[in-house]
Chain A
Amino acid sequence: MGYPHRSHPKETPVLSKHFGDPQARTLDGWKQRGGYRALEQALGMTPADIVNVVKDSGLRGRGGAGFPTGLKWSFMKPGDGKPHYLCVNADESEPGTFKDREIMRWTPHALVEGTALAAHAIGAETAYIYIRGEFTEPLRVMEAAVKEAYAAGILGAKAMGTPHRIDVHILRGAGAYICGEETALMNSIEGKRGNPRIKPPFPAAAGVFGMPTTINNVETLCAVPHILVNGAAWYKALSLSSPKSTGTKLFSACGTLARPGNYEVTLGFPFKDFLYDLCGGPLPGRRFKAVIPGGSSVPIQSMEEAESTLMDYEGFVAKGSMLGSGGVIVFDDSVCMVRMIARLARFYAHESCAQCTQCREGTAWTTRILERIERGQGTMQDLDVLLELSENMTGKTICVLSDSCAAPIVSGIAKFKKEFEAHITGKKCPVTAAAAAAAA
């Protein structure tokens, strides 16, 4: 079942199979749909065996970085005498991304199950689900699901009747994008200001409360029960391209297209089909101009690049961008790219945690330059300054927020330089001007 549309025949609904089905939200409904079989199975396995299955499946992190999940789990050394923690990153704040929101809204028990399973696999008795502050409905649904799971003995001192203790706590963010960065999220859990930490030490060595911690994305964890039930080989076979990209992935599509929404496809799916079949192509009378394929932090693709892309971790890189979080933002010919990039930069300037100099000052400065160009008051030198600032904002800070602000600027100027130049030489926004002329 799709949501808000019916599933497209070309989709492969695994995680999204029950989207839109209110029955799937309840514990009973979830069990009738096969829920908690994987957890029961996993609690009878050793953590090492679970980690090996996940390693074999080729599952990679769905939050943006694409780090192999099994490998990440294997960093948690059993018997180190320290409490281990699992953090679930449900602080889905990447502009253009809204897949975790739907997972939590419709299939909360999928996340509870994935969380409990992962906690067992890394030797953690405590898991924190950190939900974005603005997600009021998902929060309510998740809290109800955790309550049900405790009442049914799935969570607690004897998880599903086994000797394993698994506690799941839900925490709510307070509206900071940066708290989706893993170490900022941990600071936030600890009650501190949500500032990213210097790495090393990495979370597996010293994470939340200074203890070994694994942090996973919601979608990653929800895939794990399916892998345990159906086997690593089944998941690995779900790949249309590179063997390094396996399984299905939810893509959130938004922007100027006919059918925005969440679509689940097997990795390696042709991006062209995704845009024109699943998403229904552009709005009537419009043409696509550009795509940001993986949430606002990744480089912008031109349509030539996008239409030849295979949707997997390597495919997007090969075509000048990244898979990121799977937030596909599409722009048609009515969109002013300068304005759009300025809007993105403004977002990053607003969300910078203010620790690193380049990010605190750079995001705000680039925003001001971009907005000035958009108003028709820019100069050609501004473009050079923007590129130099972007260079200074890339790879030099604690986290990648600054890099994320620079990526669309650099790719935008490289791929849509004519639009920037038109703003500067024409001393006004040509797109807005054309729209005004058309309306007159």
Chain B
Amino acid sequence: MADTPMVSLTIEGRAVRVPAGTSILEAAKQAGVLVPHYCYHPGLPIAGVCRMCLVEVEKAPKLVPSCATAVAEGNVVHVHSPKALEARKGVLEFLLINHPLDCPICDQAGECELQDYTFREGRAQGRLGPEPKRFNPAEDFGGDVLYVTNRCILCTRCVRFMEDVAQDPVLNVSERGDRAVIGKFEGRDLTHPWAGNVIDLCPVGALVSKDFLNKARAWELDRTASICPNCTQGCNTMLETRDNMVVRMKPRPNAEVNHFYLCDEGRADYRWMNRADRLEAPLVRHHGDRLVAADWEVALKAAAGHLNGKRVHAVVSPMLSTESLWMLSRLVKKSGGRGAFRVARGTEAPLAGVKDLALRAERAANVRAAELLGFTKTDRPLDGLQQGDVLVIAGQELEAADTPALARASAVIVIGTHLFAGAREAIVVFPATNVAEEEGTFVNLRGRVQRYLQARAAPGMARPVWWALADLLAFLGESASYFTAAEAFAAMAQARPEFAGMTYDSLGLAGRVISGAGEAMAGAAR
């Protein structure tokens, strides 16, 4: 790549230097100029059909489609010249003549590129006159996808995604002329595990999510950078909340992890983040029979009393943050105990057109960190629980088969989001936050440490696991006083060589790979 010759050109008066072969549209991005477009998407093959990205290049006889035209040395490009603006205005008018102006009831409103560009550059009034608009009924495309035919601008992003990225051609352009619509091949549905991405790719409200249908307006949503917790791939996401409820999870681009995509299973699995039957206060066993609400100080002191001098057997969740797992590992280490975790498994579902991207078989976000920090992956996490051990259950539900083993423990301490069956045996229960309610990091299966941010307020007195554990360690005489997840992470980076040199700032929102993960990457490539 280093040998690629560079080309210099001017876009909207700004000099820019890009590798030869770059499209004018991408070069304009680098110059900080957005060329309006619909059919172009950096993750898809070029179609060049919407004709929205026409720009004026000096000395060229006609306007050129900037998505499909490579830069040439000395090009002088005008994106906002009267000629280019006039052409885009024309395209917008053509797109709108048959587009229902149903923005008030359209899910895409507020995040619609047709709306945005029309507002910016379109005509104030239509000229269709007395002609009726074209009408086609909406169609259920299967999976999570509803096709609202009338809103479609035939950019073919969905067709190209299914054909070239999913490599499962289900969609096509049926008919021609202004009768053309997106069609499904006979007997096929959008049931591919990654098909839901066509909803995000659709620049208008033609492909909408049935799950999100009529649920919220785009402008009411708060958006928080997060990581999909539902498998070890660690796809970057945007958690979208309204009134403190997660209502949608969408992919956030990261060229190193998930490009522009998120699988259907991952994006659909967010409801548990809104679970209502939550632990809101610490519970302490009172007179040996009842769990009663208590203050954190009281609960921590009670737990510390039971832990003193005992060996800890920790059963942890691979969904916990790295910071939380590190604190748990410190507790285990201090007591000379052991820790284990169990991972839910499912079918692996790769996205064929993107290298090393799949819905992974291990359906939890932080398996890699749990292993790094010394927890044993096993289907029977209570094996090795010895008579007299203190069992610490963190973020993990027990299964029915596990409960007889609880009898061996001298005490059970639970830290979790809700009171599951086995938790009722505990002497202390701490209320914990879930991924949407805290800040933290996950390490994906390729060793990439990625941050997620807090998207909603935690219920009641719930705290992140790392915070509760740090306080508990402090009660046990450890130096563990952290006010933020960043501080906890920084302390971990000091203590653990894998994270050496990393800080929340240096991770940014794209993440960094732990040292020593190179071999793992090479292994994956094989």
Residues of A within 8 A of B469 (CB): none
Q: Is B429 among interface residues, defined by CB-CB distance under 8 A? A: no
Q: Is B104 among interface residues, defined by CB-CB distance under 8 A? A: no
Residues of A within 8 A of B128 (CB): 365
**B131 pairs with A361, CB closer than 8 A:** no
- Tell me, in angstroms, the Cα distance from A352 to B62 when the chains sit together: 21
- Tell me, in angstroms, the Cα distance from A392 to B97 when the chains sit together: 14
Nearest A residue to B180, CB-CB: A354
Residues of A within 8 A of B52 (CB): 357
Q: Is B178 among interface residues, defined by CB-CB distance under 8 A? A: yes
**B173 pairs with A392, CB closer than 8 A:** no
- Distance in angstroms from B458 CB to nearest chain A CB is 48
Task: Identify which of A1-9, A294-302, A393-401 touches chain B.
Answer: A393-401
**A354 pairs with B48, CB closer than 8 A:** no
Given the known interface contacts A365-B97, A398-B49, the answer about A351 and B176 at a Cβ–Cβ threshold of 8 Å is: yes
Nearest B residue to A197, CB-CB: B48
The 8 A CB mask of A366-392 against B (1 = contact, 0 = none) is 001100100001010010010011011
Nearest B residue to A361, CB-CB: B94
- Distance in angstroms from A246 CB to nearest chain B CB is 27
Q: Is A355 among interface residues, defined by CB-CB distance under 8 A? A: yes
**B94 pairs with A392, CB closer than 8 A:** yes
- Tell me, in angstroms, the Cα distance from A350 to B179 when the chains sit together: 9
- Tell me, in angstroms, the Cα distance from A385 to B46 when the chains sit together: 32
How many chain A residues sit at the interface, stated as a range, is 35 or more
- Tell me, in angstroms, the Cα distance from A432 to B435 when the chains sit together: 75
Q: Is B153 among interface residues, defined by CB-CB distance under 8 A? A: yes
Nearest B residue to A397, CB-CB: B51
**B51 pairs with A358, CB closer than 8 A:** yes
Contact of A356 among B49, B130, B173 (CB under 8 A): B49
- Tell me, in angstroms, the Cα distance from A358 to B68 when the chains sit together: 17
Q: Is A16 among interface residues, defined by CB-CB distance under 8 A? A: no
Given the known interface contacts A365-B97, A385-B127, the answer about A356 and B51 at a Cβ–Cβ threshold of 8 Å is: yes
Q: Is A349 among interface residues, defined by CB-CB distance under 8 A? A: yes
Residues of A within 8 A of B177 (CB): 349-352, 354, 360, 363-364
**A365 pairs with B176, CB closer than 8 A:** no
Given the known interface contacts A198-B65, A361-B98, the answer about A355 and B90 at a Cβ–Cβ threshold of 8 Å is: no
The 8 A CB mask of B166-207 against A (1 = contact, 0 = none) is 000000110111111000000000000000000000000000
**A392 pairs with B49, CB closer than 8 A:** no
Please report the total number of B residues contacting A with Cβ < 8 Å: 37
The residues in B between 45 and 103 inclusive whose CB is less than 8 angstroms from any CB of A are 46-52, 54, 62-63, 65, 68, 86-87, 90-91, 93-95, 97-98
- Tell me, in angstroms, the Cα distance from A176 to B175 when the chains sit together: 11
**A360 pairs with B91, CB closer than 8 A:** no
Residues of A within 8 A of B179 (CB): 354
The 8 A CB mask of B110-131 against A (1 = contact, 0 = none) is 0000000000000000011111
- Tell me, in angstroms, the Cα distance from A351 to B176 when the chains sit together: 7
Given the known interface contacts A352-B177, A354-B180, the answer about A396 and B50 at a Cβ–Cβ threshold of 8 Å is: no
- Distance in angstroms from A55 CB to nearest chain B CB is 25
Residues of A within 8 A of B154 (CB): 354-355, 357, 360
The 8 A CB mask of B497-520 against A (1 = contact, 0 = none) is 000000000000000000000000
Residues of A within 8 A of B68 (CB): 198
Which of A356, A361, A364, A369 has the most chain B CB within a 10 Å cutoff?
A361
The residues in B between 461 and 489 inclusive whose CB is less than 8 angstroms from any CB of A are none
- Tell me, in angstroms, the Cα distance from A379 to B128 when the chains sit together: 12
Q: Is A193 among interface residues, defined by CB-CB distance under 8 A? A: yes
Nearest B residue to A348, CB-CB: B177
**A362 pairs with B176, CB closer than 8 A:** no
Contact of A357 among B46, B49, B130 (CB under 8 A): B49
- Distance in angstroms from B319 CB to nearest chain A CB is 46
Residues of B within 8 A of A372 (CB): 130-131
- Distance in angstroms from A212 CB to nearest chain B CB is 20
Q: Is A117 among interface residues, defined by CB-CB distance under 8 A? A: no
**A354 pairs with B176, CB closer than 8 A:** yes
Q: Is A159 among interface residues, defined by CB-CB distance under 8 A? A: no
- Tell me, in angstroms, the Cα distance from A353 to B176 when the chains sit together: 5
Residues of A within 8 A of B127 (CB): 385
- Tell me, in angstroms, the Cα distance from A13 to B95 when the chains sit together: 50
- Distance in angstroms from A265 CB to nearest chain B CB is 32
**A392 pairs with B87, CB closer than 8 A:** yes
- Tell me, in angstroms, the Cα distance from A437 to B94 when the chains sit together: 40
Contact of B95 among A353, A354, A361, A382 (CB under 8 A): A361
**B178 pairs with A364, CB closer than 8 A:** yes
Contact of B94 among A353, A357, A382 (CB under 8 A): A357
Residues of B within 8 A of A363 (CB): 177-178
**B178 pairs with A396, CB closer than 8 A:** no
- Distance in angstroms from B212 CB to nearest chain A CB is 27
Contact of A360 among B62, B129, B130, B180 (CB under 8 A): B180
**A198 pairs with B175, CB closer than 8 A:** no
**A358 pairs with B91, CB closer than 8 A:** yes
**B46 pairs with A352, CB closer than 8 A:** no
Residues of A within 8 A of B180 (CB): 354, 360
Residues of B within 8 A of A397 (CB): 51
**A354 pairs with B51, CB closer than 8 A:** no
Residues of B within 8 A of A364 (CB): 177-178
The 8 A CB mask of A396-424 against B (1 = contact, 0 = none) is 11100000000000000000000000000
Residues of B within 8 A of A377 (CB): 130
**B178 pairs with A360, CB closer than 8 A:** yes
Which of A352, A369, A382, A392 has the most chain B CB within a 10 Å cutoff?
A392
Contact of B175 among A354, A358, A398 (CB under 8 A): A354
**B49 pairs with A361, CB closer than 8 A:** no
- Distance in angstroms from B107 CB to nearest chain A CB is 23
- Distance in angstroms from B474 CB to nearest chain A CB is 65
Residues of A within 8 A of B46 (CB): 198
Residues of A within 8 A of B153 (CB): 357
Nearest B residue to A363, CB-CB: B177
Given the known interface contacts A361-B97, A361-B98, A395-B62, the answer about A349 and B51 at a Cβ–Cβ threshold of 8 Å is: no
- Tell me, in angstroms, the Cα distance from A358 to B90 when the chains sit together: 8
- Tell me, in angstroms, the Cα distance from A372 to B179 when the chains sit together: 19
- Tell me, in angstroms, the Cα distance from A385 to B52 when the chains sit together: 20
Residues of A within 8 A of B86 (CB): 392
Residues of A within 8 A of B50 (CB): 356-357
- Distance in angstroms from A269 CB to nearest chain B CB is 31
Closest 9 CB pairs between A and B?
A392-B90, A354-B180, A364-B178, A361-B94, A355-B49, A352-B177, A198-B48, A354-B176, A395-B62
Task: A193-B172, A389-B90, A398-B49 are known; give 7 further A-B pairs, CB within 8 A.
Answer: A351-B177, A357-B95, A358-B91, A360-B154, A364-B177, A396-B87, A397-B51
Could you list 15 A-B pairs, sorted by A, with CB under 8 Å? A352-B176, A354-B179, A356-B50, A357-B154, A358-B90, A361-B95, A361-B97, A362-B94, A363-B177, A365-B128, A369-B129, A382-B129, A388-B90, A396-B90, A397-B51
